[in-house]
Amino acid sequence: MFSHSPRQDDSVHAHRRERMVYEQIEKRGVSDPLVLDAMRKVPRHLFVPTKFAEEAYNDGPLSIGEGQTISQPYVVGSMTSHLHLTPKSKVLEIGTGSGYQTAVLAHIAEKVFSIERIGALLAQANQTFKNLGYKNIVTRLADGMGGWPEEAPFDAIIVTAAAKSLPEALIKQIDTGGVMVLPIDRGLQNQQELVKVTKTEKGIETKTLYPVRFVPLLGDVLN
């Protein structure tokens, strides 16, 4: 499905990333320097099928096969910025997909745990991580709805598919002071909203950010 090599990350693609970050992300209000730096560095074109490589830095999502997509660059940057990551953060991602969002997280955080339910996508993502030399990403083929309890708590959790409601299992795995960002499908004409959940000593606080469109969060594992 993908047939790139890291050597294809040349000055042309670096220029495209710079333009993507400035025009699509900074201009829309994302200002976290760690996020902007990560998105300038991660070669997005290596995380999409070859036929879409020239479109990788466009302002929109792309198909990655298996009925899944790689999110619009702005959405990746915005969701990541709402996690308030530091170089010491421990992050859980539900929905590895192509691995692009995972790689952006890994450029900032100390360690990223990522769960994917589709075996073919996870195998490709793992190969891309290996090709690009990532050492702080751990993946698992599993139902992401249950999280990764043996590695909890997490400073941040990001869910890249739309849930019907706030997943209780994931809320339990957020550390106090930590954040979860996820799309919620309200069930009204496919209306989805990006929601930010902050865990405090008194409980959880939720904030609706903006409308989004994601594939649904499913639990069945496809080897």
> Which pairing describes strands 68-70 and 62-65: parallel, antiparallel, or unpaired?
antiparallel
User: How is residue 37 written in tokens?
Assistant: 């730096």
Strand order in the sheet with 174-185: 137-141, 111-116, 90-94, 154-159, 174-185, 192-200, 203-212
Annotated catalytic residue, options 71, 81, 98, 114: 71
Q: Which residues pair with 139 in a beta bridge?
A: 114
- Within the chain, strands assigned E span 62-65, 68-70, 90-94, 111-116, 137-141, 154-159, 174-185, 192-200, 203-212
Residue 31 among the catalytic residues? no
C-alpha pair distances (Å), 45 with each of 5, 10, 130, 139: 10, 11, 16, 21
In 10 A of CB 123, how many CB atoms?
Answer: 15
Three-class secondary structure of residue 97 per DSSP: coil
Any alpha helices (H) in 3-54, and if so which ranges? Answer: 11-20, 33-41
Of 85, 58, 83, 73, whose CA–CA distance to 26 is shortest?
Answer: 73
Q: List residues with catalytic annotation.
A: 71
